[in-house]
């Protein structure tokens, strides 16, 4: 049997940052596995990039990680780079937002990311090679009144990724958390943001993805793209937590 080929698996590749990860990883020659629910978009992107496989999956489904990896393996691939990018947020008071959607967010942003990370590590360990880039957010650095569950999921992603980064030191496997600030994608529309402010301060997806891939290459535990975002991320350390809570609560997103 032929030796499996290394691949880069990108979740949430049908839009925004994920589609941009796909473009930049394809440009450096990676063979790609593109995952999301909108198959038509994935197939169009895979066809445009070449050397890419579209795998339709709803990552809130419990068996999604196992099914995706089985599909990659059936195509003769092993996952050398995992980019856990799929995620969404919801703006609004916790009790006013539907519970089912918020639990779905936890399934996607937290459970699926954890399951995929666990599933790819066995192969990476055997080969003493691999990398995982988890997309967190600057939301990870403080609580988010008015965006409570989303901020909490991203705090999980940051904490989890930093811990893995440390656990895997010297193993040949790199793990980084990418913490973007506002970025021009479909995120704002999906989250139900109505204010124009988010769009006005948004970075472009290409620069965020470039920073993420470079940071992973350099084995940085935490990558915060952009000077203003770096400052925001530091805010949690410089200001008392109560002040941070009040500031976030006043932001009209």
Ligand X SMILES: NC(=O)c1ccc[n+]([C@@H]2O[C@H](COP(=O)([O-])OP(=O)(O)OC[C@H]3O[C@@H](n4cnc5c(N)ncnc54)[C@H](OP(=O)(O)O)[C@@H]3O)[C@@H](O)[C@H]2O)c1
**CA pair distance 167, 26, nearest whole angstrom:** 29
Question: Which has the closest alpha carbon to 217: 45, 67, 28, 78?
Answer: 28
Query: Of 48 and 172, which has the nearer Cβ to ligand X?
Result: 48
Angle between helices 205-217 and 16-27 (to 10 degrees): 60
150 in active site: yes
Report CA-CA distances (Å) from 145 to 38, 121, 150, 199.
31, 35, 10, 20
Separation between Cα atoms, residue 40 and residue 189, nearest integer Å: 20
24 counts as binding ligand X under rule CB under 6 A: no
Does residue 43 bind ligand X (CB under 6 A)? no
8, 14, 142, 232: residue in contact with ligand X (rule CB under 6 A): 14
Q: Least distance (Å) from ligand X to the CB of residue 145?
A: 17
Of the candidates 8, 142, 161, 183, which one interacts with ligand X according to CB under 6 A?
183
Dig out the tokens for 15 from the structure. Answer: 């839009």
Interface stretch with ligand X, choices 1-9, 67-75, 86-94, 234-242 (CB under 6 A):
86-94
Interface size with ligand X, residues (CB under 6 A):
30
Q: Which is nearer to ligand X, 171 or 210 (CB)?
A: 210
Q: What's the min distance (Å) between Cβ of 1 and ligand X?
A: 30
Q: Give the span between the Cα atoms of 200 and 190, in whole angstroms.
A: 17
CA distance 225 to 204: 11
| 88-147: contacts with ligand X (CB under 6 A) | 88-89, 108, 135, 137
Q: Which two tokens mark 23?
A: 């473009």
Residues 152-181 that bind ligand X (CB under 6 A): 180
Taking alpha carbons only, the member of 214, 148, 137 closest to residue 179 is 137
Stretch that binds ligand X, among 31-39, 45-53, 162-170, 231-239 (CB under 6 A): 31-39
DSSP class of 173:
E
**232 in contact with ligand X (CB under 6 A):** no
Which residues of this protein are in contact with ligand X, per CB under 6 A?
Answer: 11-18, 36-38, 57-60, 85-89, 108, 135, 137, 180, 182-183, 185-187, 190
Q: Which residues participate in catalysis according to the annotation?
A: 150
């Amino acid at each position: 049997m032929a030796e499996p080929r290394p691949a880069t698996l990108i979740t949430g590749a049908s839009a925004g940052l994920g589609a941009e990860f796909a473009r930049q990883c394809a440009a450096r020659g990676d063979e790609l596995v593109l995952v999301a629910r909108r198959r038509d978009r994935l197939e169009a992107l895979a066809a445009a990039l070449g050397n890419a496989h579209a795998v339709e999956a709803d990552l809130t489904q419990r068996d999604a990680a196992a099914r995706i990896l089985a599909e990659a393996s059936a195509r003769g691939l092993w996952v050398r780079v995992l980019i856990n990018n799929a995620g969404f947020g919801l703006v609004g008071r916790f009790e006013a937002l539907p519970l089912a959607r918020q639990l779905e967010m936890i399934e996607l942003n937290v459970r699926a990311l954890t399951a995929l990370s666990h599933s790819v590590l066995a192969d990476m360990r055997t080969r003493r090679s691999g990398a995982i880039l988890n997309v967190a957010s600057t939301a990870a650095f403080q609580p988010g009144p008015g965006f409570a569950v989303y901020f909490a999921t991203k705090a999980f992603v940051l904490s989890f990724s930093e811990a893995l980064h440390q656990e895997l030191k010297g193993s040949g496997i790199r793990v980084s958390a990418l913490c973007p600030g506002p970025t021009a994608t479909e995120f704002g529309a999906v989250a139900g943001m109505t204010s124009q402010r988010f769009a006005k301060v948004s970075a472009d997806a290409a620069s965020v993805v470039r920073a993420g891939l470079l940071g992973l290459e350099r084995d940085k535990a935490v990558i915060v793209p952009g000077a203003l975002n770096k400052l925001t991320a530091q805010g949690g350390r410089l200001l008392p937590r109560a002040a941070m809570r009040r500031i976030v609560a006043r932001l009209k997103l």
